Amino acid sequence: MKGENQDAARAILALIDVMARLRSPDGGCPWDLEQNFRTIAPYTIEEAYEVADAIERGDMAGLRDELGDLLFQTVFHARMAEEDGLFDFADVARAIADKMIRRHPHVFGGADTRDADQQTAAWEDQKVEERAAKGHQSLLDDVPAGLPGLTRAVKLQKRAARVGFDWPQAKDVLAKINEETAELAEAMDAKNADKIEEEFGDVLFVLANLSRHLKVDPETALRRTNEKFIRRFRHIEESLGERLAEAGLDEMEALWTEAKQR
């Protein structure tokens, strides 16, 4: 294990050196030198999604590469922060190591052994204390605004549920979905574009709540359905060939059903 740690340390130091060279005013890369936290942030998000995509496809070689790309994003941000005298990569690594030790006293301290559910509850309690120490007034203050909408909705609902603001069971959420879709239909009938957008958002928010009650990650579920749609539509494309643009909906629907049965 010691040798493996030394190899990892050398590799990290080499990556930090590469980043420093790229950002060097003397012979560095012009593109890298022009970047700042805001311009790099979209790439950081994109790389995280590419990690998830490699996992979803079971592509372990791709996962190795995508994790490297994501790690490079961390090094990039840390380098820019170091240049501004804010913090460096060592501070980032040290902070997360300290946090994990603090949040796992049953592993690194003298606390009693916990099962997974107990650890989840203890983790949430620790985060509440950390939010209070940072001066956050609301339970919802530090739920990142940049998260995908469905993911953020679930996180907001989880926070509210911790103090009892929640439906007792999933079937109650189903009733709310019916209520919200009825309101969406009313907005559609009224042809009120702003109201349609608002009510459509309400439907999505309740669907996210249902996913939480069912213990289903909505982003994962939607990605899975996206891939299913791609597979079935490709069958339509392959079956129709050059006739695709001229085929009628009934013919395409029949091929869709055929793909579904397969």
Alpha-carbon gap, residue 128 to 116, rounded angstroms? 19
CATH number of 137-216: 1.10.287.1080
Residues 183-194 have pLDDT tens digits of 999 999 999 999
- The confidence score (pLDDT) of residue 124 equals 66
Residues 157-207 have pLDDT tens digits of 998 998 899 999 999 999 999 999 999 999 999 999 999 999 999 999 999
Model-level pTM?
0.64
pLDDT band at 102 (very low <50, low <70, confident <90, very high): confident
Give CA 52 to chain center in angstroms: 8
Alpha-carbon gap, residue 129 to 118, rounded angstroms? 17
Alpha-carbon gap, residue 201 to 78, rounded angstroms? 36
Residues in the chain: 262
Within the chain, all domains assigned CATH 1.10.287.1080 are found at 2-103, 137-216
CATH superfamily membership of 2-103: MazG-like (1.10.287.1080)
